[in-house]
């Protein structure tokens, strides 16, 4: 029994390190794109340290890149909408992370896609906790280091528009989104939001089309219009 638990723990550590390091690699892109959007190196690094949620960070710098600092409120709202999912993850993670105010505070900081995915795929509570915290540590340290590296690279390049990096934020975010488009419902949500954003971009101020598209995505996802119909339980 002890050997089985040891094997499960080892497997959780290996998966946590693999996922954490892979996720951290995106930090280089984020750092360079943030500088391209107009942030300096320190702003880029502080955002990674405090916000620490890749999707929201890419969304924020993407909106700022198209609308400048004036689009800051819209950028923050866009990032907040994407960050809502982390709160939902927290409900699922609460029984796993254990008790104690400091542990819960730290967990709230690092409850993201990667830590939730690794933790929930482990077979035992012990391996779930190991998977969660090792993934959190690897991703947090790695993401902040690679964000700094990316910001320094972007800062050294100067005017990144001549390299095409000013348009790379949307491409990077699409790269994060693409693997999730596996079901009709998610494809419909993404397509509907993209169409709304494209139609409203010429008539709304920068950043606002993203919020409108986000509302459309939430409505479509909430009502599950294109999802598989729920099967009614047979009456006994």
pLDDT of residue 83: 66
198 in a structural domain = yes
Q: How far is CA 88 from CA 47, 82, 83, 179, 220, in A?
A: 22, 11, 9, 21, 18
> What is the H or E stretch that residue 220 is in?
helix 208-223
Domain of residue 220 covers 181-229
Cβ partners under 8 Å of residue 176, min gap 6: 26, 54, 55, 58
**pLDDT (tens digit per residue) in 48-74:** 888 888 777 877 787 776 665 555 566
Given a contact cutoff of 8 angstroms between Cβ atoms, the answer to whether 66 and 185 are in contact is no
Residue 45 phi, psi (nearest 5)? -70, -40
Burial per residue of 177-202, b for 16 or more beta-carbon CB atoms within 10 angstroms, e otherwise: eeeeeeeeebebbbebbeebbeebbe
Same domain, 161 and 66: yes
Q: Which of 112, 134, 165 is the last residue of a domain?
A: 165
Same domain, 30 and 112: yes
Residues 27, 168, 35, CA angle at the centre, nearest 5°?
60
Given a contact cutoff of 8 angstroms between Cβ atoms, the answer to whether 17 and 138 are in contact is yes
Same domain, 16 and 126: yes
42 in a structural domain = yes
Same domain, 127 and 200: no
Given a contact cutoff of 8 angstroms between Cβ atoms, the answer to whether 131 and 16 are in contact is yes
Same domain, 152 and 186: no
DSSP 10-77: HHHHHHHHHHHHHHHTHHHHHHHHHHHHT--HHHHHHHHHHT--HHHHHHHHHHHHHH-GGGHHHHHH
pLDDT of residue 235: 42
Averaged pLDDT score across all residues of the chain? 74
Percent of the chain scored above 70 by pLDDT?
64
Q: How many domains does one find in the chain?
A: 2
d(CA 115, CA 131): 7
Q: Which two tokens stand for residue 210?
A: 């993203």
Q: Which of 130, 165, 200 is the last residue of a domain?
A: 165
Percent of the chain scored above 90 by pLDDT?
8
Report the phi/psi class of residue 124: left, alpha or beta, with left for phi > 0 and alpha for psi in -120 to 50.
Answer: beta
84 in a structural domain = yes
pLDDT of residue 222: 66
**pLDDT (tens digit per residue) in 129-187:** 999 999 999 989 999 999 999 889 877 766 555 555 545 545 545 554 566 666 676 77
Same domain, 8 and 108: yes
**pLDDT (tens digit per residue) in 84-106:** 777 777 888 888 887 778 888 88
Same domain, 40 and 110: yes
Higher local confidence (pLDDT), 120 or 55: 120
Same domain, 49 and 102: yes
61 in a structural domain = yes
Same domain, 50 and 99: yes
Same domain, 145 and 191: no
pLDDT of residue 232: 43
């Amino acid at each position: 029994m002890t050997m089985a638990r040891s094997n499960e723990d080892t497997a959780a550590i290996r998966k946590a390190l693999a996922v954490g390091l892979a996720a951290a690699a995106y930090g280089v892109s984020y750092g360079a794109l943030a500088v391209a959007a107009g942030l300096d190196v320190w702003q880029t690094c502080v955002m990674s340290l405090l916000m620490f949620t890749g999707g929201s960070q890419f969304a924020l710098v993407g909106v700022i890149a198209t609308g400048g600092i004036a689009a800051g409120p819209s950028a923050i709202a866009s990032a907040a909408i994407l960050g809502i999912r982390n709160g939902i993850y927290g409900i699922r993670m609460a029984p796993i992370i254990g008790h104690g105010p400091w542990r819960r505070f730290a967990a709230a900081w690092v409850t993201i896609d990667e830590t939730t995915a690794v933790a929930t795929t482990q077979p035992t509570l012990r391996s779930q906790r190991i998977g969660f915290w090792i993934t959190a540590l690897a991703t947090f340290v790695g993401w902040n280091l690679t964000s700094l590296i990316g910001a320094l690279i972007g800062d050294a390049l100067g005017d990144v528009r001549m390299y095409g990096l000013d348009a790379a934020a949307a491409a990077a975010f699409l790269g994060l989104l693409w693997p999730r488009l596996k079901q009709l419902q998610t494809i419909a949500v993404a397509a509907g939001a993209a169409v709304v954003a494209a139609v409203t971009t010429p008539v709304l101020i920068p950043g606002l089309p993203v919020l409108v598209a986000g509302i459309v995505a939430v409505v479509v996802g909430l009502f599950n219009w294109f999802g598989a119909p729920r099967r009614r339980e047979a009456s006994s």
